[in-house]
Amino acid sequence: MRCVYRESLYECGDYLEANIYPVYSRGLSRAKKRKATPDCQQKLNEKNAERKLIRLANANFTEKDLKIELTYSPEHNPETDDEANRQLRNFLRRVKRYRDSHGLTPLKYISVTERGKKKGRYHHHLIMSGEISLFDLVQLWGLGIVGTDILQFNENGLADLVIYMMKQPRNSANEKRYTRSRNLVEPEPRQRDGRIIKREAVELAKDTENVRAYEKLYEGYFFAGAQIVMNDVNGGVYIYARYYRKEAAFCKKRTLSRACSSAGRTSRNINTRN
């Protein structure tokens, strides 16, 4: 069975995601494909969903946009998931109307709802369009505390923040992990086959600290890191590598201040007056 290595490249703003993996052509005979166990398949689905959301975040948001956490005062805490989701939808509608009436850019957002394990308190994590003040967000929320900060990018873009947001376990496999606005740009992969041969893929997989070898693959990008999976069945090497553009906005600021993760603490909290 003939094998070539394929590159699926996602350009997401200042960031590049490179997936390098084997593609097999059909031969006269083929071994029976193993079916993944439910646990393995679920983990794979979750990892794919996480990577897709990272691409969406990096492609659609900039350092002018915001990370937001909405929490509820005790008297307003929802009793059910449906009620919490309804309150979030109402808030987003109010934000959209505010932006429209003030001539701001259309609302873009990604949101994840989390329920505390100990007290069952709901809160919402969002990545959202900027150009709106904390005072206005507090007035538009009106149900508790608003925490907000500008988005901070590092070598992996907003990956740290997305992983932090996605940590909430789901109650069922069919439960949606996040919601998003429909106007987000979805990066489409650019694919090419045969530029990387198996021997080269194996060498890359042996040493994910070999920055020079990884940066030779994609001109104009710095290497951020890679994850490797070795398939014991077909001997294939699967590489998931992350890059950032040499002219990335956060790179220009590194001489003034150290780039930091977006998954840090909320900068300010303000209580809503009811």
pLDDT digits (tens, 9 = 90+) for 251-268: 876 544 443 333 333 334
Would the pLDDT of 247 be above 70? yes
Q: Which of 52, 18, 55 is nearest to 218 (CA)?
A: 18
173, 157, 270, 128: CA torsion to nearest 10 = -70
- Give the orientation angle of helix 81-101 with respect to helix 134-141, to 10 degrees: 130
For residue 84, the model assigns a pLDDT of 95
Q: Which two tokens stand for residue 169?
A: 């376990």
Cβ atoms of residues 159 and 244 within 8 Å? no
Q: Residue for token digits 């350092």?
A: 63
Say what the pTM is: 0.83
Q: What CA–CA distances, in Å, run from 37 to 24, 41, 219, 246?
A: 22, 6, 39, 41
Q: What is the pLDDT of residues 193-235, one digit of tens each?
A: 999 999 999 999 999 999 999 999 999 999 999 999 988 777 7
The per-residue DSSP string of 15-61 comes to EEEEEEEEEE---SS-PPPPPPPHHHHHHHHHHHHHHHHHHHHHHH-
Mean pLDDT of 4-10: 96
Q: What is the pLDDT of residues 117-148, one digit of tens each?
A: 888 899 999 999 999 999 999 999 999 999 99
Q: What is the pLDDT of residues 144-175, one digit of tens each?
A: 999 999 999 999 999 999 999 988 655 545 56
